[in-house]
Chains A and B, each alone.
Chain A
């Protein structure tokens, strides 16, 4: 069974640009969540999508957005990149049950220069 796949693994962007990250969940998983990991702030929740609807949202500015497609694949977009957006972005997929295990991808390392 394939795990959670995130593409690309590494990305370098210039301040002011926008970026789109992709996440393919484990087959059968309908919940996809995104997290930002930085040395200073640790792991912070961005948003969760379930059946193409945003179910939860973290405390991030509107420059961060996401969506989920009918096949459960998800994308997150960051517009007008800032230096502080440099981070490891992790995607996790879960089954529908409450308390379900979150399976994480290896992440996309975004560097903003």
Chain B
């Protein structure tokens, strides 16, 4: 079984400041890693994913994440946030040999202030 921990439930940040949303996972098998964003009253949208290869992954809207196998982390970063980035962000994992079942972290609410 796997688990995902998002260390911060809320992250307030001023517009144009950098931000990092932290994610740690635990699994006894190899996993794929994902970050999703959810805007109010919406479903989830994929920001980026790590399957293999380069540990630095670039996604949509200027987001990137770095996979660190030794620390079992997959932190999400953006160098300069906008008001429109205010949303809930979810880190998720799926086992490499278990279909498309996703295990989600508890979510981090990013609040961008003007």
A-B contacts besides A35-B104, A92-B102, A106-B41, 14 pairs, CB < 8 Å: A31-B100, A45-B103, A48-B99, A50-B99, A92-B43, A98-B96, A99-B49, A99-B51, A99-B96, A100-B100, A102-B34, A105-B43, A106-B42, A107-B43
> What is the size, in residues, of chain B's interface with A at 8 Å between Cβ atoms?
25
B44-A48 in contact (CB<8A): no
Query: Of the candidates B32, B42, B90, B106, which one forms a contact with A98 in the assembled complex, judged by CB atoms under 8 Å apart?
Result: B32
* Chain B residues near A (Cβ < 8 Å): 32, 34, 36, 41-46, 49, 51, 90, 94, 96-107
B46-A101 in contact (CB<8A): yes
Q: Is A24 on the interface with B (CB-CB < 8 A)? A: no
Whether A42 touches B104, Cβ cut-off 8 Å, given contacts A48-B99, A98-B96, A99-B32, is yes
Q: Is A21 on the interface with B (CB-CB < 8 A)? A: no
CA distance A52 to B62 in the complex (A): 38
Q: Across the two chains, which residue of chain B brings its CB closest to A29?
A: B100
CA distance A55 to B45 in the complex (A): 23
Query: Of the candidates A35, A55, A58, which one forms a contact with B99 in the assembled complex, judged by CB atoms under 8 Å apart?
Result: A55
Q: Which has the most chain B C-beta neighbours within 10 Å: A42, A92, A99, A103?
A: A99
Q: Is A90 on the interface with B (CB-CB < 8 A)? A: yes
Complex interface: chain A residues within 8 A of B41 (CB): 106
Complex interface: chain B residues within 8 A of A56 (CB): 98-99, 101
Query: Of the candidates A4, A33, A58, A105, which one forms a contact with B100 in the assembled complex, judged by CB atoms under 8 Å apart?
Result: A33
CA distance A33 to B42 in the complex (A): 17
Q: Across the two chains, which residue of chain B brings its CB closest to A100?
A: B100
A48-B43 in contact (CB<8A): no
